[in-house]
Amino acid sequence: MADDTKPGIRILDRFGAAVDDVIEDNPRAAAFWLLTAFQVETWKVRHLPEGQKLPSGQMGCRLAIEGITRALEHPDEAVLTSIFMPNEIFLAMGLRPMIAEAISDFMTGARAEEGFAVAAEQRGVPESYCSYHKILVGAAATGVLAAPRLIANCSVACDANNITFKWLAERLGSPHRYVDVPYDTSEDSVAYVADQLEELAGVTEQVYGRALDRARLSEFVARGQRTLQAMERTLPMRHRRYLVNDMGLEMQEALALHLLLGSEDAERMALQAERDIPEAKPYDGLELIWVHAAPYFSVPLQKVLDESPVAQIITSDMTFDQTRAGGFEHGPDEPFLAMAERLVHNSFNGPAARRIARIRQLCEKTQADGVVVFCHWGCKETMGASQLMKRDLEAAGFPTLVLDGDGCWRRNMSEGQTATRMGAFLEMLHDRREAAR
């Protein structure tokens, strides 16, 4: 995910322009240029990492881009999933999860989102539809996205999930499995989801001709739980430490913790963060919790928030959505129940109060100065809950800014206005802190 201020963006400009020129007339060429852009970025992240980032941040950046690139390079081993799907089933079988929203995000990183979003709208996708899903639909409709051997998604956390993946399966002719996740957090709900995940495992075995080793699956689930617990332990450590963070890195770390949860790489990243953060430089700027997606490409916001002495994003609710307060009740010896428990209790599942409670926990554990709620274009869940979030979080003592924009389509971002509002919010937080001293 490159930003517009760095020299590499000129290369990505060329890739994006090349893709736009041939989307409709030569989708195979567009797919080639898109994969080439991802491969260039993967090489750069692996061999020329940004030295100022913490080692755990460099790992998160690398895992995110490598995960998507390798899946696109090996389509016979790829499974198209939604971001909140438990992927341990696929990882334990040696398959490559390919999160739909991440594909769109990295298309934006390659500056190629415009053509796909327009292609989707020209085919009847509403203007108000989520841009992540719109870009993905455009890629499939034009033939740039190859048909995956299996599509598997869950109902968490948005209405678009219930439409996009069904349409993709029909359009691409791919087998499709949908995991319905009840809002109720009872053990009956957990058992209901566990049965669906076990059925999904059987379908995956049939589609790919591979047997799932249940002991190996338990190992992945155990690592996943350890990874989430290690990340949770880092929350209090983040206060007054310079995380060398930016909006792109926050999204990449969140992606790594969904795409690769249960892998050795994801656990190493979490354990590295436990070592990095306490040793990081002291930080006296403002510390923010970011809610939902982030427009990492926005230059005006980059100037305010990315690796800044004035304010930093201390974490996001998308990075910490899977940990259950009080720990997990089901262990790795019950892998399907354990994955189902994590899905049912996900802070993005169910009523807004559940998500707000989790955001408040993040604020309290990190001693954050304030919260930014980003209402991504077309995301009815976040838009509908944003004022409830603001009311409840401010009542708990955490000032909250609600911003409207788009996390992956530049066209829908009023960047100057957004940066002005962010600047005013930070000024207010600074004055509030000074008054309290």
Question: Does residue 87 sit within a domain?
Answer: yes
In the predicted model, is pLDDT for residue 8 greater than 70?
no
Residue 41: pLDDT band with limits 50, 70, 90 = confident
Question: Does residue 3 sit within a domain?
Answer: no
Residue 221: pLDDT band with limits 50, 70, 90 = very high
Instruction: Please enumerate in sequence order all residues whose Cβ is within 8 A of that of 435, keeping only pairs 6 or more positions apart, or say none.
Output: none
In the predicted model, is pLDDT for residue 401 greater than 90?
yes
Helix (H, G, I), strand (E, B) or coil at 212: coil
What is the C-alpha to C-alpha distance for residues 133 and 415, in angstroms, rounded to an integer? 22
> Which domain range does residue 43 map to?
9-436
Residue 185: pLDDT band with limits 50, 70, 90 = very high
> What pLDDT was estimated at residue 14?
66
Structurally, the chain folds into a number of domains equal to: 1
86: its two tokens? 């438990």
In the predicted model, is pLDDT for residue 1 greater than 50?
no
Question: Does residue 134 sit within a domain?
Answer: yes
**Identity (one letter) of the amino acid at 317?**
D
Question: Does residue 89 sit within a domain?
Answer: yes
Question: Mind listing the pLDDT tens digit for each residue in 408-436?
Answer: 999 999 989 999 999 999 999 999 999 98
**Unique residue bearing structure tokens 């913490």:** 54
> What pLDDT was estimated at residue 9?
43
In the predicted model, is pLDDT for residue 384 greater than 90?
no
> What pLDDT was estimated at residue 10?
46
> What pLDDT was estimated at residue 11?
53
In the predicted model, is pLDDT for residue 51 greater than 80?
no
The arithmetic mean of pLDDT across residues 159-182, rounded, is 94
In the predicted model, is pLDDT for residue 346 greater than 80?
yes
Average pLDDT, the chain: 93
Helix (H, G, I), strand (E, B) or coil at 163: helix
Among the residues of 142-285, which ranges form H helices? 161-172, 187-208, 214-234, 247-259, 264-279
**Unique residue bearing structure tokens 């009080």:** 326
The arithmetic mean of pLDDT across residues 267-273, rounded, is 98
The arithmetic mean of pLDDT across residues 315-342, rounded, is 95
Q: What is the dihedral of CA 93, 95, 101, 105, to 10 degrees?
A: 140
**Unique residue bearing structure tokens 């058992």:** 191
Residue 163: pLDDT band with limits 50, 70, 90 = very high
Question: Does residue 384 sit within a domain?
Answer: yes
The arithmetic mean of pLDDT across residues 345-356, rounded, is 96
What is the C-alpha to C-alpha distance for residues 348 and 292, in angstroms, rounded to an integer? 10
Kindly list the distances between the CA atom of residue 322 and the CA atoms of 97, 98, 120, in Å, as whole numbers in the listed order: 18, 19, 32
Q: Which of 104-140 are b and which e, b meaning 16 or more Cβ less than 10 Å from the residue's Cβ?
A: bbbbbbbbbbbbbbbbbeeeebeeebbbbbbbbbbbb
> What pLDDT was estimated at residue 2?
42
The arithmetic mean of pLDDT across residues 16-34, rounded, is 86
Q: Contact at 8 Å (CB) between 178 and 85?
A: no
Question: Does residue 105 sit within a domain?
Answer: yes
Question: Does residue 127 sit within a domain?
Answer: yes
Q: Contact at 8 Å (CB) between 369 and 433?
A: yes
> What pLDDT was estimated at residue 437?
81
> What pLDDT was estimated at residue 98?
95
Kindly list the distances between the CA atom of residue 213 and the CA atoms of 177, 197, 216, 219, 263, in Å, as whole numbers in the listed order: 20, 15, 5, 10, 15
Instruction: Please enumerate in sequence order all residues whose Cβ is within 8 A of that of 38, keeping only pairs 6 or more positions apart, or say none.
Output: 65, 68, 69, 72, 106, 110
Question: Does residue 4 sit within a domain?
Answer: no
Question: Mind listing the pLDDT tens digit for each residue in 91-143?
Answer: 999 999 999 999 999 899 888 899 999 999 999 999 999 999 999 999 999 99
Instruction: Please enumerate in sequence order all residues whose Cβ is within 8 A of that of 222, keeping only pairs 6 or more positions apart, or say none.
Output: 331, 332
